[in-house]
Amino acid sequence: MTNLRIEQANDDAMLQDWQYVHNLIIPTDALSLDEVRERAQRNRLEVAYLGDVLVGCSTVRPPTGGASTATVIARVLPDHRRQGLGEKLYERGLAQARALGAGEIETIVLASNVDGLRFAQTHGFVEVDSYLPPGDSVPFITLRLP
Ligand X SMILES: CC(C)(COP(=O)(O)OP(=O)(O)OC[C@H]1O[C@@H](n2cnc3c(N)ncnc32)[C@H](O)[C@@H]1OP(=O)(O)O)[C@@H](O)C(=O)NCCC(=O)NCCS
Per-residue binder mask for ligand X (CB under 6 A), 57-76, x = binder? ----------------xxxx
Taking CA atoms, 68 is separated from 26, 42, 96, in Å, by 26, 15, 14
Is the separation of the CB atoms in 43 and 95 below 8 Å?
no
Q: Could you give the string, one character per residue 18-57, with x where binding to ligand X holds by CB under 6 A and - elsewhere?
A: -------x--------------------------------
Between residues 32 and 121, which has the closer beta carbon with respect to ligand X?
121
Calpha distance 44→62 (Å, rounded)? 8
The residue (of 14 and 116) whose beta carbon lies closer to ligand X is 116
Q: How many residues bind ligand X (CB under 6 A)?
A: 22
Nearer residue to ligand X within complex by CB, 15 or 88: 88
DSSP-derived 3-state class of residue 134? coil
Pairs from 13-17 (Cβ < 8 Å, separation ≥ 24): 14/47, 15/40, 15/45, 17/47, 17/54, 17/57
Which of 12/84 has CB closer to ligand X?
Answer: 84
Q: Work out whether 124 is an interface residue with ligand X (CB under 6 A).
A: no
3-class SS of residue 124: coil
Residues at the site binding ligand X, with contacts judged by CB under 6 A: 25, 73-76, 81-87, 90, 107, 109, 113, 115-116, 118-120, 122
